[in-house]
Each structure stands twice: as C-alpha cells, then as structure tokens.
C-alpha cells in the first residue's frame, strides 16, 4: 500500500515543461501534488509573491522519488549555486539525512534556511486507557517495557518512533531497544490501531489526530512543544510533566549550499516576512500548524543539533551503523 501512495506526481514533467527562466524563483516540492511538501511550496510561493518579496510568481516543481532523495540529489549535483531555488523540507528530510537514507548524501550539502510553522508531535492513547498522564505511561514502560506498544505513521526507526524514544530517554529510561513500535500506513491508521486496542499508544502529529480528539475516541497525553498549542490549550506539554522533549514536524525550506551568505540572508529575511504575514497565519490555522519560526543561521544551528541527536538515537536502535 505504501507504494501506491508513492510517486504519482508529475514530477519532472512540470520541471522541464516550464523550464526556469532566469528571474522566476523555483520551489521544488520533493513529492507529488497534494502532500505536505507540495503545500509548503504552494503556500510559501504564493505568499512570497503576494507580499512582493519576489517579482514573478513562484514556479512550483514536483519532483518525487526516494522519499525526497531524488530532489536532494538534483539540488546537490545540478543546482548547487542557484540563488533562485528553494526546496520544501520538513523533519522527514533531516531524519532521512541523519539515517543515511539518501544514498550517502549528508545534511551539510545544502543550507537549511528556515522553518515557519510546525505540526506538533503528540503522544496519544485511546479514551479508555488507564494512563492519565505521560508519566503514568512512562512508569508502566519502566516497570515492563513490553507492556506498552506504540503505533505511528512513520516507518520503524522514523520520526514518530524517535519521538517516543526521546520522551523515554528524558525520563531516564535507557533500555530504549526494548520499546515496541509498529510503523503503519499513516497517522490515522495508527490511531485506528490504538482505538482498536492493538497498540496502547499512538505517536504522531497533531493534525493526524484532530478529528479523533473531537469525537472523543482518543486522549492526547502530551504535546511535544515548548508551550501549549493555541486551540488545544487543554493538552499539557511534555515539558510541564517534567520531560523536556520538543519534537515537531516543522515545515520549511532548504537552499543550495554554494549561494553567497548575502543570498542566504536574503532568503532568511523573505521567509521571516512570510511568517509575519496575516496570510500565512491563516494558512497555518487552516492546516493545523502551530507557530514555529526559526530562520537563517539560527535555524541551521538548530537543524545541526537535531541531526546530531537523530544520528545518536538511530545508532542506538540499530537503524544506522
């Protein structure tokens, strides 16, 4: 089923169809139309033009394949110094880079220019679960690691899996190799497995559980952000519960590595302008994104930290040698 969902983008058709005239900015969405990366390109591209940060409408190119790896290779190998190119990225990009899933390419081969919104990570249980707080759950795992199994929308070893492990590490539980996790076909599927009682917890993004939260079939034990999320004020953060973990699926951009520092700074400023616009705030609200703005060197440093942490965790659970 996973393969179904993959590549029905019209990838390079649009790419070589429209070409790239010298002036127009191009935004590559490394996936098919309709997904998160496509949304990032289309929304940011539209707002960039609307608030006059760029002179011509931004050209969106879909380039699916290899979980974003083909687009990454394209940027690294063929567009390494193109100042008019931006590429949609998210936590999935950095997780895959950290886990060497892009055929040897590394995160330092591009520059991460900014994130301007994020889908907050959540830990969720079915409504009749005995766990009332994140700590209840953590204690149960400490007592018997096999007693709590998690379902998530990413593959085993992926971002959703790592979220749980980060929480447990923060709680001082080091035997993370004993934690049960199954990767299923997307967040909503993970929720149904949890509601059905096959797994005891679900780990995913806020947007994946909104409908089930409203219908009361699941309870969120914690949201993995710095502060409570607007619109979901009754969900406590992990931090409040004494577990200092921030894990959000950010939406942002990277740019080719060999552009000048000034060009990099210019993109950071443009992105900041998008983040500050009323239009973007509306788009975020409509898509269940929480504010999360980091641009320029600040963001690059943050990404470096995340990548290093992902590498460490991945080695520990054996998905990276």
> 205 with 232: CB under 8 angstroms?
no
Stretch that binds another protein, among 61-69, 108-116, 226-234, 240-248 (CB under 8 A): 61-69
Q: State yes or no: residue 6 binds another protein (CB under 8 A).
A: yes
Stretch that binds another protein, among 29-37, 223-231, 243-251, 272-280 (CB under 8 A): 29-37
Q: State yes or no: residue 143 binds another protein (CB under 8 A).
A: no
List the interface residues with another protein, window 207-246 (CB under 8 A): 207-208, 210-212, 214-215, 217
Tell me the HSE value of 95 on the side-chain side, using a 13 A CA sphere.
21
Task: Provide, rounded to whole angstroms, the least separation between the CB of residue 9 and another protein.
Answer: 6
List the interface residues with another protein, window 73-102 (CB under 8 A): 73, 101-102
Which residues, 6+ apart, have CB-to-CB distance to 318 below 8 Å? Answer: 177
Angle 69-78/91-98 helices, nearest 10 degrees?
Answer: 80
- Locate the DSSP E strands across the chain: 26-29, 59-62, 85-90, 110-126, 149-152, 180-183, 201-205, 218-223, 248-256, 290-295
Among 64, 94, 109, 166, binds another protein (CB under 8 A): 64
Q: State yes or no: residue 140 binds another protein (CB under 8 A).
A: no
Q: State yes or no: residue 142 binds another protein (CB under 8 A).
A: no
Task: Provide, rounded to whole angstroms, the least separation between the CB of residue 264 and another protein.
Answer: 26
Task: Provide, rounded to whole angstroms, the least separation between the CB of residue 73 and another protein.
Answer: 6
Give the Cα separation of 220 and 211 in Å (integer). Answer: 12
Nearer to another protein, 143 or 286 (CB): 286
Give the Cα separation of 175 and 219 in Å (integer). Answer: 26
Stretch that binds another protein, among 65-73, 221-229, 232-240, 270-278 (CB under 8 A): 65-73
Q: State yes or no: residue 266 binds another protein (CB under 8 A).
A: no
Q: State yes or no: residue 206 binds another protein (CB under 8 A).
A: no
Sequential DSSP letters for 234-266: TSPBTTTTT-----EEEEEEEEETTS-HHHHHH
Q: State yes or no: residue 118 binds another protein (CB under 8 A).
A: no
DSSP 3-state percent helix, strand, coil across the chain (nearest 5): 45, 20, 35
């Amino acid at each position: 089923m996973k393969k179904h969902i993959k590549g029905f983008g019209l990838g390079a058709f649009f790419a070589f169809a429209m070409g790239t005239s010298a002036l127009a900015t191009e935004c590559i969405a490394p996936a098919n139309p309709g997904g998160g990366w496509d949304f990032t390109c289309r929304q940011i591209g539209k707002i960039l033009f609307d608030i006059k940060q760029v002179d011509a409408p931004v050209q969106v190119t879909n380039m699916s394949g290899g979980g974003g790896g083909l687009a990454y290779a394209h940027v690294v190998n063929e567009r390494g110094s193109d100042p008019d190119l931006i590429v949609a990225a998210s936590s999935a990009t950095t997780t895959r880079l950290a886990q060497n899933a892009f055929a040897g390419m590394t995160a330092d081969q591009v520059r991460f220019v900014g994130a301007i919104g994020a889908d907050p990570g959540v830990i969720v249980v079915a409504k009749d679960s005995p766990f009332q707080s994140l700590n209840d759950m953590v204690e149960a795992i400490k007592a018997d690691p096999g007693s709590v199994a998690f379902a998530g929308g990413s593959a085993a070893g992926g971002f959703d899996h790592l979220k749980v492990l980060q929480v447990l590490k923060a709680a001082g539980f080091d035997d993370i190799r004993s934690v049960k996790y199954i990767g299923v076909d997307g967040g909503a599927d993970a929720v149904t497995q949890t509601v059905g009682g096959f797994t005891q917890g679900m780990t995913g993004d806020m947007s994946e559980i909104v409908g089930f939260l409203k219908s009361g079939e699941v309870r969120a034990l914690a949201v993995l952000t710095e502060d409570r999320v607007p619109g979901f004020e009754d969900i406590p953060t992990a931090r409040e519960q004494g577990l200092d973990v921030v894990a959000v699926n950010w939406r942002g951009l990277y740019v080719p590595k060999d552009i000048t520092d000034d060009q990099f700074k210019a993109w950071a400023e443009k992105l900041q302008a998008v983040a500050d616009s009323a239009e973007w705030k509306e788009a975020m609200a409509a898509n269940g994104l929480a504010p999360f703005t980091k641009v320029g060197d600040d963001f690059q440093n943050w990404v470096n930290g995340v990548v290093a942490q992902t590498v460490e965790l991945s080695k520990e659970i054996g998905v990276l040698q």
